Amino acid sequence: MSNYKMQLGDYSKLDKNIKIVFVTAEFNRDFTKALEDVNEKLLKDNGFNNVEKFLVPGAYEIPAFVKLVKQKLNPDLVICFGVVIRGETTHYEMVAGESARGIMNISIEDNTSTAYINGILTCENEEQVKARISSTYALSGLNLLSERKKIS
């Protein structure tokens, strides 16, 4: 695993009332709850309190729900959380690949100001999951929104 640690950029031009949505997979809930908690803490510690959370069955269901969230709520930032751990079948490859592709497709097709962050962990085992639970996703979202502000 990389030793790179993302830093929070300059978000001074971001409205603290931006609408942030978490779409989280219920599968592997202990881990996905930890992802939510650490990222929500970073956001709230930095004054971003407008966070709405939705729970879907698994990572595979995230992209379709994200599209619905965009249509109905028009958030500024959507962060997706899930944990896919390799098992004995090819199910892992399908869920990991299609959930990532779905989020990427929505992000590319949506030419609005909404930023999308893929926080779906795809790991070999629980130890790898535990090592990757961090606030990187909230950091990425705020940094991406800050960069987008420069060109809007």
- Give CA–CA dist 23/126, Å, rounded: 21
Secondary structure (DSSP) of 63-119: HHHHHHHHHHH--SEEEEEEEEE--SSTHHHHHHHHHHHHHHHHHHH--SS-EEEEE
Containing 13, the helix (H) or strand (E) segment is none
- Split at pLDDT 50, 70, 90, the class of 121 is very high
Q: Using DSSP bridges, classify how beta strands 115-123 and 51-56 pair: parallel, antiparallel or unpaired.
A: unpaired
* Domains of the chain with CATH codes: 20-151 (3.40.50.960)
Instruction: State if pTM tops 0.75.
Output: yes
Residue 54 · residue 24 · CB < 8 Å: yes
The closest of 132, 47, 114, 38 to 76, measured between CA atoms, is 114
Whole-number mean pLDDT of the chain? Answer: 92
pLDDT in tens, 56-103: 999 999 999 999 999 999 999 999 999 999 988 778 888 889 999 999
Residue 65 is among the residues annotated as catalytic for this protein = no
Provide the pLDDT confidence category of residue 8 given band limits of 50, 70 and 90.
Answer: low
Model confidence band, residue 7 (pLDDT cutoffs 50, 70, 90): low
Residue 19: enclosing H or E segment and its boundaries? Answer: none
Residue of 16, 41, 91, 130 with catalytic role: 91
In the prediction, which pLDDT does 148 show? 87
At 130, the amino acid letter reads: K
Measured distance CA(14)–CA(141) in Å, rounded: 11
Query: Among 135, 139, 84, 80, which residue's Cα sits nearest to residue 105?
Result: 80
Backbone angles phi, psi at 112, to 5 degrees: -100, -165
